Amino acid sequence: MADTELTPELIAFVREQKDRHEIYQALLRYTRGIDRFDKALMASAYHPDAIDEHGVAEGDPDQFTDWAIGWHGEFQHQHQHIITNHTVEIDGDVAHGETYYVFWGENREGPPTLAFGRYVDRFEKRDGHWAIAHRVCVNQISGSFNPVDVPAEYLSQMRATGPNTRDRNDISHDRPLTRSRGYAPAS
């Protein structure tokens, strides 16, 4: 057998990897959608009849995305949803996933929030499209932390790479991404 032969096992493996990739892309649409306040992108991670049980709120994709964007907009200047460890068990057109998350939010009042937990999801593939059918957000711990004092000059340099906004003006939407200011290596 040649290394380039498309055996039934190799074809099954490639199909499974494609499914895994598409499921992970749904997770990324969710995190980017909420962090950029892009309701359509966030909602595209779900099937229209999905349910999200987040503990503090629950609902279908329309209800939940409205709540999440509204809550973060009201209570935080900026925030990030970061996904880390991810496992998924695929059985035909249904998959069960567990994805760890870290959440950071710069609160409008008080110190920043840092939270950890897991998204426990049932994904379904419908009409060739993987998306969340049911999510339970397991909130494991949430607290606040005190940021380190950073000199104002350094802080302004750190923030000069923006704009850092929660909408389509954010630098992540720039196409093509181009150099916006001169680079001077540290001396």
Do the Cβ atoms of 94 and 124 come closer than 8 Å?
yes
Confidence at 16, pLDDT banded by 50, 70, 90: very high
Number of other CB atoms surrounding residue 52 within 10 Å: 24
Place of tokens 């057998």: 1
The highest-level CATH class for domain 8-171 is alpha beta
Model confidence pLDDT, tens digit, residues 98-128:
999 999 999 999 999 999 999 999 999 999 9
Model confidence pLDDT, tens digit, residues 145-154:
887 888 888 7
Model confidence pLDDT, tens digit, residues 29-71:
999 999 999 999 999 999 999 999 999 999 999 999 999 999 9
What's the Cα-to-Cα distance from 161 to each of 9, 49, 165, 183, rounded to whole Å?
Answer: 47, 39, 12, 11
Those residues with Cβ within 8 angstroms of residue 2's Cβ, 6 or more apart along the chain or in another chain:
none
The per-residue b/e assignment along 105-125, b for 16 or more CB within 10 angstroms, e otherwise, is beeeeeebbebbbbbebebbb
Q: What pTM was estimated for this model as a whole?
A: 0.86
List, edge to edge, every strand of the sheet that includes 76-91.
58-59, 46-53, 129-144, 113-126, 94-107, 76-91
pLDDT at 112: 96
**Residue 68 burial (CB < 10 Å; 0-12/13-18/19+)?**
buried
Q: What does the domain layout of the chain look like in residue ranges? A: 8-171
Closest CA to 34 of 69, 77, 71: 69
As a whole number of angstroms, the distance between CA 62 and CA 39 comes to: 9
